Chains A and B, each alone.
Chain A
Amino acid sequence: EVQLVQSGPEVRKPGESLKISCEGSGYTFGSHWIGWVRQKPGKGPEWMGIIYPRDSDTQYNPAFEGQVTISVDRSVTTTFLEWTSVRAADSATYYCTRHRCGGSCRPGKYYYGMDLWGQGTTVIVSS
Chain B
Amino acid sequence: DIVMTQSPLSLPVTPGEPASISCRSSQSLLHTDGKNYLDWYLQKPGQSPRLLIYLGSTRASGVPDRFSGSGSGTDFTLKISRVEADDVGVYYCMQALQTPRTFGQGTKLDI
Contacts and interface: CB of A to CB of B under 8 A. Distances in A.
What does DSSP make chain B's interface, helix, strand, loop or mixed?
loop
Interface size class of B (residues with CB under 8 A): 20 to 34
A107 B31 CA distance: 7
Interface size class of A (residues with CB under 8 A): 20 to 34
A45 interface: yes
A119 interface: yes
A112 B54 contact: yes
A11 interface: no
Contacts, number: 67
Contact of B96 (A37, A44, A111, A117): A111
B98 to A, nearest CB: 9
B50 interface: yes
A55 interface: no
Given A44-B92, A113-B54, A114-B51, A108 B103 contact: no
A114 B48 CA distance: 12
Contact of A113 (B31, B32, B60, B100): B60
A111 B48 contact: no
Interface stretch (B15-23, B33-41, B71-79, B81-89): B33-41
Nearest to A64: B100
Interface string B49-65: 11101110000110000
A95 interface: yes
A115 interface: yes
Contacts of B35: 107, 111
B105 interface: yes
